[in-house]
Amino acid sequence: MNELVLTEIWIYPVKSLGGIPLPSAKAMGKGLEFDRRWMLIDENNMFMTQRIHTQMAMFKLSLSGRNITVVKKDATANSSITFSADSAPIGEKIHAKIWDDDVDVFEIDRKLSEWFSEHLGMSCRLVNFPERNPRAVDPKYKVNDEQVSLADAYPFLIIGQSSLDDLNSRMTEPVPMNRFRPNFVFTGAAPFDEDTWREFRIGDVRFVGVKPCARCVLTTVNQDTAEKGIEPLATLSKYRKRDTKVLFGQNLVALDTGIVKVGDKLSLE
């Protein structure tokens, strides 16, 4: 086997908005620091994603210290707004829904919510999911008693670059890795080797592969245009379908907290 090397680290502070590439990040119990600790909810306190609201792809994020800037890309002009990761909540806690989970979240700034409402053309609120608030991973796949942030189901997602290369070799038009929203991208393995990983390290931080990631229509949304198509799901379904699920990437939990860095070596236990 070739040397396994971490080549990309990504966080997605606001669920289903643009990702931020980082040279290093802190692995925490619920996921990478700042990763999906915020989300947009609609008037029914239901979480919002690109699956329905494809225009969410046009909100791009950047991180400076502990400040997060959101830029809405527009054909004629861009609008931006910045908030602190340490913003205090306002008002009472909100009982929100994310998939089958009920979570207690807090609005952090009405001006932020109004900005998102204006640029999405619908009433919504930006809410924060405090680190202390519980949301357990599926008990069928837990290692200890892991918790997850506002990610779909698990704290971390890893994908091998060769897995994407294999997919793109089968397609007329290649797709970028951002369709799959990984936290970690690595090189040095055969396509889909990560499917079989159980215990491994990135640098000094131990992780456990718990479940292949089932993919949805969000992967068919072009992250540059917000247009939805049929790929890459159509191609993936021809050779990556198990039972009724199309699989791409491996979900992880962490056994440690610590810093991971681009260039770190991956070692299988």
Residue 91 confidence (pLDDT): 87
42-86 tens-digit pLDDT: 999 999 999 999 999 999 999 999 999 999 987 666 899 999 999
Q: Is the peptide bond before 232 cis (omega within 30 degrees of 0)?
A: yes
DSSP states of 66-114: TEEEEEE--SS--EEEEEETTPPPEEEEEEEEETTEEEEEEE--HHHHH
Strands 67-72 and 59-64: antiparallel
Model pTM above 0.95: yes
Beta strands in the chain (DSSP E): 5-11, 20-22, 24-28, 31-32, 38-41, 59-64, 67-72, 79-84, 90-98, 101-107, 125-128, 156-160, 184-187, 199-202, 205-214, 241-242, 245-254, 258-261, 266-268
Q: Where are the domains of the chain?
A: 5-268
174-213 tens-digit pLDDT: 999 999 999 999 999 999 999 999 999 999 999 999 999 9
**What percent of the chain has pLDDT above 70?**
99
Q: What is the mean pLDDT of the chain?
A: 96
pLDDT-derived band at 2, boundaries 50, 70, 90: confident
User: Which residues, other chains included, contact 45 with Cβ-Cβ below 8 Å and sequence gap of 6+?
Assistant: 94, 95, 96, 97
210-238 tens-digit pLDDT: 999 999 999 999 999 999 999 999 999 99
